[in-house]
Amino acid sequence: MTPITGFAPDAEITTPGLITDCQNFVPYLNGMEGAPEPVTPASVPALAAACNGAAVVTKLDDTRRIIAGSQTKLYELSSGAWADRSRASAYTGNADTRWSITQFGDATLASNRTDVIQRSTSGAFADIAGAPKADIIFTVGAFVMALNVNDGTEKPDGWHCCAAFDDTSWSPSIATQAANGRLVATAGRITAGARLGEYAVAYKQKSIYLGQYVGAPTVWDWIQVPGGEAGCVGKDAICEIGGAHFFVGDDNIWIFDGTRPAPIADGQVRQWFYDNSSPQYRYKTTCVFDRQTNRVWVFFVSKNGTTLDSALVYHVLSKKWGRANRTVEAVLNYISAAVTIDGLSGVASTIDTLPSAGFDSQYWLSGGKALAVFNTSHQLQSMTGASTTSSFTTGDNGDDERLTNVNRIRLRYATAPTSATVQMYAQRNSGAGFSEGPTGAVLDGKFDVRQSARWHRAKFNFTGPVRVTHMGAEMKPAGMR
């Protein structure tokens, strides 16, 4: 049997194991599986308005805060409610403003570029006096780094760092090592940024800069990274995957480990992604790394859409791709509280209405980490539910020179679905287009179908959780049994 090689619509269509299309079908280490469904955590109400950014941050004593921001407010999930942690006056962002949230020691910082950087150790946030307005903030070493700033003057290519070990001090000083500067060797504003070990990385749309701490008087030394025109399309189109950055650029999808950016979508999904995503709203692309499954989810706006309504999924170890479209406002790695037997009544009123999360799901574990999203109802949901429906379509199998008969198809399951069907497609001559053929259900672990054509294609539809590792078909020259 042939191993399944993942969703690769850009590849040669006759490649063995190829998937040309799929729905709710994502890679895992040994194959492909039905994508998890969203589950609403116990005692977590909807946010009062659309979520424009969220994060789980950890303090020095290992206690955690879940912070979410809307256009005008900042909230903290506390005792089963979203507590308003905004400063006294409302924030002045717009519907497209996104919050950047980071933790520095015991202080939680948030920034949206329309207001000065906000700070809270507990309770309400407040302005940091003397801090700039910044589009992107993150912690690196003894500093908080701010990128794409306004410090009284518009500096979209500018950077600031706070004083060493003091996130409340931002006035440039050799003594404190608070500093600032601009990245002007290449055109454009800074679009994204993140820590990479002890380095700071700043991305423009077509260039990358690596910042290294060098001490006073320069404090941070920035060099442009060689790599052509690799860059990042937006502030959320990047995530850290353990020693490297995964990010979406204007012409490819990349991984950067501090040396040179390496493209990872060529020959698989690169062209498909740029053909099916909106050029106008590509800057909204949002990446998140689900460490428990080693998968990166790339949420993007579809070609004719305006909101995040589609998703590609990449498995870091197997380097396979899949798809699992979801419409979301924001994403984060949610850390759940424990669910106990005594507390089940707070989750569901009956056994039958319990969430469809498996017993080994992170949903039930205290401190369990799982990919989570805010849906369009502003509700936080963890992506830990059991798969309900999924499908995938094979590549083309056959020969231009002769007709072949397909008599049966068999899939090798690591987890068999509740039910499965197959829809066959036939093509008389290459390029002529496929027409629908017979359908089949599972019988003795196989799909019994009978079809004669030069080229064959099959679409499998699953109900319930499923894992598929291999596929194979019994094919013989037409006229032979």
Q: Which of 205-209, 228-232, 316-320 bottoms out in mean pLDDT, i.e. has the lowest? A: 228-232
**pLDDT at residue 339, rounded to an integer:** 39
Give me the mean pLDDT over the 269-273 stretch. 98
One domain for residues 160 and 287 = yes
Higher pLDDT, 257 or 359: 257
If asked whether residues 107 and 171 sit together in one domain, one would say: yes
Looking at the structure, do residues 78 and 19 belong to the same domain, yes or no? no
CA-to-CA dists, residue 292 to 44, 143, 296, 319, angstroms: 22, 29, 11, 16
**How many C-beta atoms surround the C-beta of residue 166 within 10 A?**
16
Kindly indicate the confidence band of residue 230, based on its pLDDT and cuts at 50, 70 and 90.
very high
Write down the pTM of the prediction: 0.91
Residue 303 has a pLDDT of 95
Please classify residue 207 by burial: count the beta carbons closer than 10 Å to its beta carbon, then call 0-12 exposed, 13-18 middle and 19+ buried. Answer: buried
Q: Last residue of a domain, which of 329, 361, 385?
A: 385
For the stretch 90-110, pLDDT in tens is 999 888 899 999 999 999 999
Residue with tokens 């799982």: 370
204 & 262 share domain = yes
pLDDT at 67 exceeding the cut of 80: yes
Give the mean pLDDT of 14-35: 97
| Residue labelled with tokens 């399951």 | 413
Nearest to 43 by CA among 343, 429, 351, 383: 343
Picking from 42-51, 137-146, 334-343, 393-402, which range would have the lowest pLDDT averaged per residue? 334-343
Same domain flag for 431 and 285: no
**Separation CA 43–CA 28 (nearest Å):** 31
* Phi, psi values for residue 344, rounded to 5°: -65, -30
Residues 240 and 357 in one domain: yes
Query: Average per-residue pLDDT in the chain?
Result: 92
Q: Please say which residue of 385, 416, 436 terminates a domain.
A: 385
325, 353, 385 - which closes a domain = 385
* Of the listed ranges 245-249, 333-337, 412-416, the one predicted with least confidence: 333-337
Indicate whether 190 and 103 sit together in one domain: yes
Gyration radius (Cα) of the chain, Å = 25
CATH number for the domain spanning 408: value is 2.60.120
Domain range spanning residue 132? 37-385
Same domain, 219 and 353: yes
Dihedral (Cα; 284, 198, 183, 129), 10-degree rounding: 80
Q: Give the domain CATH number at 187.
A: 2.130.10.10
Residues 142 and 192 in one domain: yes
pLDDT one-digit tens code per residue, 320-357: 999 999 999 999 988 754 434 344 344 444 444 444 44
Mean predicted confidence (pLDDT) in 448-459: 92
Say if residue 267 is in the same domain as residue 324: yes
Report the pLDDT value the prediction gives residue 360, as an integer from 0 to 100.
Answer: 47
Which of 173-187, 272-286, 330-344, 364-378 has the weakest average pLDDT? 330-344
Residues 242 and 363 in one domain: yes
Q: How many domains does the chain have?
A: 2
Same domain, 17 and 42: no
CB proximity list for 477: less than 8 A, separation 6 or greater: 402, 403, 404, 405
